[in-house]
A = this chain, B = another copy of it.
Amino acid sequence: MVKNKSAQGQLDNSFQSGRVVTSYDVARKAGVSQSAVSRCFKPGASVSKKMREKVMKVATELGYEPNAIARSLITKRSNLVAVIISNLTNLYYPEVLAQLSQRLSDRGIRVLLFALDTESHADQVLAQIWQYQVDGVIAAAKLTNDQLAEFEKRQKPLVFYNRFYSNQAVNAVCCDQAEGAYHLVKGLVAAGHQSFGIIGGPDDSVVGRERTDASAACLSTMGTSDVTIVDGSFSYECGGAGVEMIREKRGSLPDAIICVNDMTAIGAIDALRYGHGKNVPEDVSVVGFDGVGPATWASFDLTTMRQPVGRMTEGAVEMLMERMENPDLPPEKRLFAGVFVDGTSAVFA
């Protein structure tokens, strides 16, 4: 006991004095091979739980840690993945980020976070992404053709999250915006609504435009012409502002308001109830899109399309990992249908 303690003391001292503890030191003390130690620290390497526990215990005692950065210069793998995300205050994205982070971490990969102020500002961060030699990038943001070309030039794997780029061969996982919008519009029309407002997204949002265009197209197909479309910004505030703009453009409120996402829908509901003294859904039906946490709150109980975030984040991570192993895989897109949530914010059939 005393002997152990003294040995430990010496090792702590050598750690503090700056002597670098090597994998050989750990192997010798743990009574295993050097390659076994190496495997214990390599993400995804095959090693028994017992071996890992033994090695980790000794490594901790000795203060051993491999230098991931030095290793990355040799292996050309940094085990870093950049996640570009815009608009963390849109309540959909924190959930996406938490799940991506967890799933990458389960595979021994770390997340280098790039939070953009607006979706089209990726220029700010790409130069930095190249500098950090990340193994790949997941982008929930818009990239220009020039920026896409940079990825190709560098053979850097890239997966878009929830952006489909239908006319380009990119990797993407995406919720089926058009199918979801059609489902919502059909149910509203079938329930007898005859006049519609649509509160869209900001100018530079692909997702917003796709949902707005699909809703308008479906309404047109179904012979509904009383449709008022206004722009929004995916925020609670734009829901209230959108209701006001629709009322002004149309002269009165429509039967139903289709919102490009849940945050907008929640803002619209509050504005209808507390600003215009209307009942939702008796006077005006409101639908959203995304299925964020607050959509399920009793105050809103939103009729919406829930994105299958678990399946989508798992799909994005798998798709990226495959391309980190094999950069020559052809581009692939996976499209996930939204899950209809039959709330009470809309009269629906």
- A residues bordering B, Cβ < 8 Å? 12, 15-16, 41, 56, 63, 65-70, 72-73, 78, 80, 83, 88-89, 91, 93-95, 97-98, 101-102, 105, 110-115, 117, 124-125, 127-128, 130-133, 153, 236, 266-267, 269-271, 273-275, 293-294, 297-300
Contacts and interface: CB of A to CB of B under 8 A. Distances in A.
A270 B297 CA distance: 7
- Which label, helix, strand, loop or mixed, suits the secondary structure of the A interface? helix
A65 B130 CA distance: 7
Contacts of A133: 67-69
Given A67-B131, A68-B133, A105-B115, 20 more contacts: A15-B153, A16-B153, A65-B127, A65-B130, A66-B131, A68-B132, A69-B78, A70-B73, A88-B98, A89-B95, A91-B91, A98-B115, A101-B114, A105-B125, A111-B113, A112-B113, A113-B113, A267-B297, A270-B297, A274-B298
A89 B293 contact: yes
A151 to B, nearest CB: 13
Contact of A94 (B83, B93, B112, B114): B93
B131 A102 contact: no
B298 A300 contact: no
Contact of A101 (B110, B115, B131, B236): B115
A332 B112 CA distance: 28
A93 B89 CA distance: 10
Contact of A236 (B78, B111, B127, B297): B297
27 contacts: A15-B153, A65-B127, A65-B130, A68-B132, A69-B69, A69-B73, A69-B131, A70-B73, A80-B112, A88-B94, A88-B97, A89-B94, A93-B94, A98-B115, A101-B113, A101-B114, A102-B117, A105-B124, A110-B112, A110-B113, A110-B114, A110-B132, A236-B294, A266-B297, A270-B297, A270-B298, A274-B298
B131 A65 contact: yes
Contacts of A125: 105
B112 A111 contact: yes
B153 A63 contact: yes
A327 to B, nearest CB: 14
Of the candidates A102, A153, A297, the one having the most CB atoms from chain B within 10 angstroms of its own CB is A297
Contacts of A15: 153
Nearest to A275: B298
B102 A95 contact: no
Contacts of A56: 127
Contact of A98 (B70, B89, B110, B236): B89
A274 to B, nearest CB: 4
A13 B77 CA distance: 25
A94 B274 CA distance: 28
Task: Report the 4 A-B pairs with minimum CB-CB distance, sorted nearest first.
Answer: A68-B131, A94-B94, A270-B298, A88-B98
